[in-house]
Structure 1
Amino acid sequence: MDQLTQALNFRHACKKFDETKKIGQADMEYILEAGRLSPSSFGIEPWHFVVVNNDKIKRELRPACYNQEQVTSCSHFVIVLYRKANNFTLQSEYLRRTVARGLPNANDQTAIDAASQYFINFYEHGLADGLTINHLSEMQDYLACANMLTAAAYRGIDSCAIGGFEYDKIVQLLEKYMPQFSAESYGIGLCLAFGYRLKEPTAKIRWPLEDLTTYL
């Protein structure tokens, strides 16, 4: 079995971590780098990773995550934010800096205007009915999250993706501890707990590939 397949089989939703074991900084940055290098539509990279390894803050986060034990037993708790629509206007510094990276002259304001407007036009007319730029941005988050979970497993580090949380309570905690956070500019995609398992999981259960695949 190749190493990637081993990692995918190793990964499970770890519900209780060994609190005596901490992830080293190099391993944590390896996981975050997998998120950073993830694909995103138009290369907009709409994510921001809030890494919590402070036990006091994790204890405050736990009630907002329906008292799930992995929030406080994990080594590092990552809140994966996504950028909202006000980051993607013609005047948005973030969008302008993002599109400028792909231009021959990153200081050409006319070219930046044109590239930014192209992005805006595409998503004003190209999204499916009912979808918004906020939906698109949040969906990009999940690509980064999946890569971080796999990267952790590749290093023998366990994880749990947490989508069950009280949104407003997490926002309040971010506003308390993260001065640059704004609920108008950022949404919360997923929370990811990383650490080391206390016990071995049950066997992985998945449908056979032939039940999931159609070739046309």
Structure 2
Amino acid sequence: MEKTFMEAMDFRHACKIFDETKKVSDEDMHFILEAGRKSPSSFGMEAWKFLVITNEELKAKLKPFCWDQAQITTCSHLVIVLAGIEGVKPESGIPEKRFARREMPKEKLDFYLDLYAGHLKETLSNDKNIYSWTARQTFIALGNMMTAGAIRGIDSCPIEGFDKEGVEGVLGLDTSKFQLTCVLPFGYRINEQSTQQREKFEDIVEFIK
């Protein structure tokens, strides 16, 4: 039975070890990945890619570069979240294709392309700046995927504890095109969840009227 949104928020926690005997179904993983694919992105560029790893040997190779965390090899599916680099550059032609998905006259398309390139001139000036911009956007998709998993009773754990170059090397990534932002394992908890700790609503939220 699916959980409501708030039930999913209460259910979700950073799972430290998964039950290796339980596997997430193809249907449930598709549901999770669709939540990532349909997430919002700046200018609608969708500058991300999700690698879904179930190969146990490959997970074992990645584990030493992820601080030897148990989640890497005990999870059912290991999602590698990548930030796009080359695809957001105007000269790649991809931004034009993204804008052109909406029917519009050429002069309007050219206007959007000029606005995009001008507004992001500094951001698009080098790969380091691009990564900083696109990596932040991948966390929107990452959050949606974790919540989608929780709705189906599936656990996850966002992992930033890794050797970025090491993981990218094992995966053979062309880092001029995509770079690693987060490692996101999915599976089923083997231990009970500890009591969720959050600050009080009134300490986090301020209304300005």
Q: Calculate the TM-score normalised by the size of structure 2.
A: 0.91
Aligned-partner Cα distance in 1 for 2:185–2:59: 10
Secondary structure in structure 2 of the residue aligned to 1:132: helix
Offset from partner CA, 1:96-146 (integer Å, 9 cap, x none): 2212112336xx5x665543232111112689xxx9332111110000000
The one-letter amino acid of 1:104's match is M
- Tell me the percent identity: 38
Match of 1:118? 115
Tell me what 1:205 maps to.
197
Q: Are 1:135 and 2:127 matched, yes or no?
A: no
2:162 is the counterpart of 1:165:
yes
Pick one of 176, 188, 194 that aligns with 1:196: 188
CA-atom RMSD, angstroms? 1.9
Question: In the aligned structure 1, how far is the partner of 2:146 from the partner of 2:203?
Answer: 25
Do the aligned residues in 2 keep the contact of 1:87 with 1:95 (CA within 8 Å)? Answer: yes
The one-letter amino acid of 2:183's match is: C
Report the Cα distance in structure 2 between the residues aligned to 1:102 and 1:118, rounded to whole angstroms: 16
- The count of residues paired between Structure 1 and Structure 2 equals 203
Normalising by structure 1, we get a TM-score of: 0.88
1:23 counterpart = 2:24: yes
Matched residue type, 1:6: E
Task: Please tell me whether residue 43 in structure 1 is matched to residue 44 in structure 2.
Answer: yes
Structure 1 residue runs without a partner (length 5+): 176-180
- 8 Å CA contact retained: 2:47, 2:88: no
Given that 1:90 and 1:117 are in contact with CA atoms closer than 8 Å, whether structure 2 keeps it comes out as: no
Asked whether the 8 Å contact 1:123–1:133 carries over to 2, the reply is: no
